[in-house]
């Protein structure tokens, strides 16, 4: 095998009878108040590890050292109580998510930090230093990676057939339903020849692509380098050289729209806004909430009114980043009309994932918290891969993946 991208690992996971009690939404899609409510009466909820501020008195910053210490204490207690167990041998796992409309079947394994640095695991987003440091402190304190990085890979028929055969034959070690109604199943790949074949097929790929989890993967890299410096006997095989991943084929990835909310800080009149938009768009008022069904088409909501904005002249753009709808929205509307600069830092913009629906946009505008909402057509997975292959970076908040992987089902302890 010429290169190693993924490998098997010893999963830290719930005792099967405790899985329903342990599972939790990802730490970064709920706030502390929501986590507190979800964890009420559930002492074994993984939220005590992933959102440990819920067990501390008073208002406390997410990055206070007491938060990391409390998370470590909760994780160690769950291990001591036998709520969480660790497999004795390295194992590959299959991760399935399903509901009436969606089914994804992929591979749970650990990714090589070396492969990440060699761009065999490709990124498409920048990280924010404060959020990356939070994940560094989290991993370092827990001595574990508890949130998987979501990866995707180009479809491979032989691999998909093999994964399906394993899932059909094996009984899942977990079969649980999340609060959003999605069923999550985990299967162990018990036959060593199948493990080897799966890894051989994956590791012969040109690359895998980070879909969600840029801060977690970057943090794993930082932790690896810190521990390598501290370890005079470093071999490269220590568990800190790897990070927790779940990988699905590109055709199974489900991307929702990632919409924008704007404060009218320039105090533009509606006539001024419409006049500026008319330069590039056919603007039409519409009766109902406008959710674009094609590229180069946007919805706009303000003053209890929806508008359809259709680009007047379709453009052929060779640059894969500039061709994205999120880039067009920024370059033709947000910056020239509303004066929005860097979307990562500008205080006059906010982002709403498509799972909130058009109602989520309307609520934020109708409450007068924000002044304008813009709905977008989802970024296709092919565009993400094109950007990553070009070594380029997408604008912030370009993709919203659904459904989300659960926290607590699989974790990876590091040396």
Q: Collapse the DSSP code of 11 into the 3-class scheme (helix H, G, I; strand E, B; otherwise coil) and give the result.
A: strand
Rounded Cα distance, 34 and 39, in Å: 9
Greatest distance between any 2 Cα atoms in the chain: 69
Domain boundaries, the chain: 6-254+403-413, 258-377
Q: Collapse the DSSP code of 12 into the 3-class scheme (helix H, G, I; strand E, B; otherwise coil) and give the result.
A: strand
* Phi, psi angle pair for 244, to nearest 5°: -70, 130
Rounded Cα distance, 415 and 403, in Å: 31
pTM for the structure as a whole? 0.92
Rounded Cα distance, 366 and 363, in Å: 5
Return the DSSP state at 250. Answer: G
* Phi, psi angle pair for 9, to nearest 5°: -160, 170
DSSP-derived secondary structure for 129-153 = HHHHHHHHHHHHHHTEE-SPEEEEE
Pick the CATH number of 258-377 from 1.10.405, 3.40.50, 3.30.1760, 3.30.70: 3.30.1760
215-253 residue pLDDT tens:
999 999 999 999 999 999 999 999 999 999 999 999 999
Rounded Cα distance, 77 and 135, in Å: 21
* pLDDT in 10s for each residue of the chain, 415 residues: 468 999 999 999 999 999 999 999 999 889 999 999 999 999 999 999 999 999 998 889 889 999 999 999 999 999 999 999 999 999 999 999 999 889 999 999 999 999 999 999 999 998 888 999 999 999 999 999 999 999 999 999 999 999 999 999 999 999 999 999 999 999 999 999 999 999 999 999 999 999 999 999 999 999 999 999 999 999 999 999 999 999 999 999 999 999 999 999 999 999 999 999 999 999 999 999 999 999 999 999 999 999 999 999 877 788 999 999 999 999 999 999 999 998 988 999 999 988 888 999 999 999 999 999 999 999 999 999 999 999 999 988 899 999 999 999 999 999 8
Which residues share a beta bridge with 245? 109, 149
Nearest to 332 by CA among 347, 344, 317: 317
Rounded Cα distance, 211 and 191, in Å: 29
Residues in the chain: 415
H-helix or E-strand spanning residue 208 = strand 208-212
* Phi, psi angle pair for 186, to nearest 5°: -120, 130
Three-class secondary structure assignment of 153-184: ECCCHHHHHHHHHHHHHCCCCEEEECCCCCEE
H-helix or E-strand spanning residue 387 = helix 381-389
């Amino acid at each position: 095998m010429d290169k190693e991208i993924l490998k098997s690992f010893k999963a830290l996971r719930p005792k099967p009878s405790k899985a329903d009690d342990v599972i939790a939404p990802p730490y970064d899609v709920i706030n502390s108040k929501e986590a507190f409510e979800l964890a009420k009466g559930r002492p074994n909820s993984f939220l005590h590890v992933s959102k440990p501020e819920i067990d501390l008195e008073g208002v406390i910053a997410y990055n206070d050292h007491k938060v990391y210490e409390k998370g470590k204490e909760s994780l160690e207690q769950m291990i001591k109580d036998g709520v969480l167990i660790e497999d004795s041998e390295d194992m590959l796992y299959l991760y399935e998510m399903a509901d009436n409309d969606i089914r994804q079947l992929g591979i749970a394994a650990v990714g090589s930090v070396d492969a990440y640095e060699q761009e065999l695991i490709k990124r498409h987003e920048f990280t924010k230093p404060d959020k990356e440091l939070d994940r560094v402190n989290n991993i370092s304190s827990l001595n574990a990676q508890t949130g998987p990085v979501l990866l995707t890979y180009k479809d491979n028929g032989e691999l998909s057939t093999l994964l399906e055969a394993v899932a059909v034959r094996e009984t899942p070690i977990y079969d649980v339903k999340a609060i959003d109604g999605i069923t999550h199943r985990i299967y162990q790949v018990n036959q060593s020849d199948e493990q080897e074949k799966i890894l051989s097929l994956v590791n012969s790929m040109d690359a895998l692509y980070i879909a969600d989890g840029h801060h977690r993967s970057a943090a794993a890299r930082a932790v690896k380098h810190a521990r390598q410096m501290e370890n005079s006997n470093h071999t490269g095989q220590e568990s800190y050289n790897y990070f927790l991943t779940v990988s699905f084929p590109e055709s199974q990835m489900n991307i929702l729209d990632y919409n924008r909310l704007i404060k009218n800080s320039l105090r533009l009149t509606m006539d001024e806004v419409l006049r500026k938009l008319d330069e590039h768009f056919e603007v039409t008022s519409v009766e109902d909430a406008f959710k674009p069904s094609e590229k180069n088409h946007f919805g706009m909501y303000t003053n209890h009114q929806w508008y359809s904005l259709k680009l007047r002249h379709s453009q052929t753009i060779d640059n894969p980043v500039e061709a994205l709808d999120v880039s067009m929205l920024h370059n033709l509307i947000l910056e020239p009309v509303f004066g929005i600069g860097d979307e990562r830092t500008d205080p006059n913009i906010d982002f709403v994932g498509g799972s909130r629906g058009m109602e989520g946009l309307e609520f934020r505008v109708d409450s007068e918290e924000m002044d304008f909402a813009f709905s977008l057509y989802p970024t296709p997975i092919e565009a993400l891969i094109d950007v990553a292959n070009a070594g380029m970076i997408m604008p912030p908040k370009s993709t919203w993946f659904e459904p989300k992987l659960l926290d607590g089902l699989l974790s990876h302890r590091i040396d």
